[in-house]
Structure 1
Amino acid sequence: MKMREFLWIILFFSVFNKLKGNANIDDHLTLFDSIFGTPDDEEVQGNKMHLCSCDTSKLEEKMTNMEKTIQRLSELTIGMSVEEYTLRNCPQGWVVSEKTESCYKIIEDRTTNWETANKTCVSLNAELASIRTQQEFDFVNDLLRKTGENVFWLGGNDLKQEGTFKWADGSDVTFNGWNRNEPNDSNNNEDCMVWWGYANGKWNDSACKGRANRKSLCKIQATRCLEGWSYYPATDSCFKTLKGNLYWKEARAACESMAKDSSLAKITTGEENNFVKDLMKNVDEGWGFWMGANDIHREGSFVWLDGSKVTFTAWLRGEPNGGTNENCVHWWKGMGYSWNDTPCENNYNGEKSGMSAVCKMPGTRVFGGTVG
């Protein structure tokens, strides 16, 4: 077998195992042996490898089968983007529908007011639920029927123009899930949509306030984060802790190499900072975590890697205090993950004293506006 063919086979198994998250040199060697048999003699001289006495009687058949497998893998992966290797994520406590690529949450707090229900969903960076296809209708029906409740607020309404129903985001209600003879605007006072369990989940128009207390259904677009990343819905972002003994520039390069638009973390609110702190608490390693904030280019003027100014801060008392010697910012594990400025290349007793890092990237919306 030619060296080119040998390297191609090893490359194939390397990529295949890596896609499975299973790259391991022992796996590669086992697979190699299973195909070619164990060489009777292997001699390495300089950069030349000589494989001798392999069992070649079945080599041609195995190579043919492998070529078919490679061709099949190629056909399956042509045109696939990085995002298609990612996972659909929902915030904790939400239910995902793979078919509609959306997340749903039943709001247990009852309200007599449609507007209150809508504001509750908006506060969760979501919308009072829209239902746009038969698949979504069936999914929501199954979800809500299991609760034993018979009425839930949905996002549909004709508050702006009688008879023209729109969803809470302003888009038109095009799918028809209405119960027979609905909407009927009874007493000229029914402008808001409810899920109606009494009619097998078909919709009814209802007064927007003043009726019995009802639960609500919120909906948010499913978001893709790479496997192993954690989704934060308020900023539609994905975070990942990166363990290691890294200088700041090394941490930056490592984050940027992980995915498109990934970088050392930028933090804009206290809530986001607390979310990241919870992630860091699960990493039992090192004394701190790098973030993207720095004043490398102008002393005392801290900016993020995208050039924007640092507005929210969570400095340890008395920080930043490092002057021109401490230009990079990290979370200090031993100080409750408060922020501290420190040298971008930290050394202690002549040895490298780097730390771990937190990477951040935008969440990728699965769809925009309508459910596929």
Structure 2
Amino acid sequence: MSASCLSNHIILASCLTNHTMSASYRASGFLLGDVAALSRCPVTVLRTQFLKAYRENCFEFVIDHETYWDNADKDCRSRGGHLATIGDQETQAFVMDTLRSIGFNKHGLWIGLNDREHEQHWVWATGENLGSYRNWGDKQGNGITHLTDDCVHLRYIDSGHWHDSPCH
């Protein structure tokens, strides 16, 4: 997956990380209308077209290399952030719209969702439970196909549906 932090197939690791505005994090990317919002992002985060502010978070879209979920998670944490949490339809739409606007044309990207500790108990990289919003692809997230599919990527070519995959 792209370095937005996605799955085991080494598709494209689009390391989609999000940081709270107070977190220290390096990121990239913005559009002209985002300047005021981005000023609330940590000063250590590089302002490029891949850094976006949304609600109270700064999202860094790292889409320049392929990697496994484990590596994407480590990379995001080393930057002071974490793999993205997508807790509602609005955030999902924001991510998809941003991917389109930056010309993302890869298979998918990692998000912070996983069930590594307990099968079928999905939690975000932040430790938060999955919650009520879900955007699973067909036959995904149910633990029936592969018990080793513990990490989740947003499959861009499947309208942003979530797919569980091996973490490494």
TM-score bin, normalised by smaller chain: 0.5 to 0.7
Unaligned regions of 5+ residues in structure 2, if any? 1-22
Picking from 39, 60, 67, the partner of 1:246 is 67
CA-atom RMSD, angstroms?
Answer: 3.0
For the pair shown, the structure with the greater C-alpha radius of gyration is: 1
Aligned length: 134
Instruction: Kindly state the Cα deviation for residue 90 of structure 1 after the two structures are TM-superposed.
Output: 9.7
Q: Does 1:304 align with 2:127?
A: no
The answer to whether 1:328 aligns with 2:145 is no
Paired with 1:86 and 1:273, the residues of 2 have a C-alpha distance of 19
2:43 maps to 1:223: no
Query: Can you list the C-alpha shifts for 1:231-253, whole angstroms capped at 9, x where unaligned?
Result: 00x2x101111121101101111
Q: TM-score with structure 2 length normalisation?
A: 0.68
> TM-score, normalising length from structure 1?
0.32
* 1:96-154 deviation line (CA, Å, top 9, x unaligned): 7xxxxxx5xxxxxxxxxxxxxxxxxxxxxxxxxxxxxxxxxxxxxxxxxxxxxxxxxxx
- Alpha-carbon distance between aligned partners in 2 of 1:247 and 1:90, rounded to the nearest angstrom: 29
Q: CA deviation at 1:266?
A: 1.0
C-alpha distance in structure 2 between counterparts of 1:316 and 1:86, whole Å: 29
Alignment partner, residue 17 of structure 2: none
Q: Give aligned-pair identity as a percent.
A: 25
Secondary structure in 1 matching 2:59: strand
Distance, in Å, in 1 between the alignment partners of 2:31 and 2:140 is: 36
Provide the secondary structure at the position in 1 that maps to 2:147: helix
CA positional deviation for 1:263: 1.0
1:256 is aligned, of 56, 71, 77, to 77
Residue 317 of structure 1, CA deviation: 2.9
Structure 1 counterpart of 2:159, one-letter code: G
Does the 8 Å contact 2:38/2:53 carry over to 1? Answer: no
| Matched-pair contact (CA < 8 Å) for 1:90–1:222 | no
Deviation of the 1:274 alpha carbon: 0.9
Answer 1 or 2: which has greater helix percent: 1
Q: Matched residues in 2 for 1:275 and 1:86: separation?
A: 17
**Residue 323 of structure 1, CA deviation:** 3.8
Cα gap change, 1:222 to 1:251, in 2 (>3 Å)? closer
Q: Specify the SS of the correspondent of 2:60.
A: strand
Gapped regions of structure 1 (runs ≥ 5): 1-81, 97-102, 104-219, 346-372
Q: Is residue 247–residue 344 contact of structure 1 (8 Å, CA) maintained in 2?
A: yes
Quick one: higher RCO (CA 8 Å, sep 6+), 1 or 2?
A: 2
| CA distances 1:262-288 after superposition (whole Å, capped 9, x unpaired) | 111111221111111122223434311
Q: How does 1:1-372 map to 2 (within 5 A)?
A: 92=33, 223-225=40-42, 226=45, 227-228=47-48, 229-232=51-54, 234=55, 236-243=56-63, 244-257=65-78, 259-260=79-80, 262-281=81-100, 282-311=102-131, 312-321=133-142, 322-345=145-168
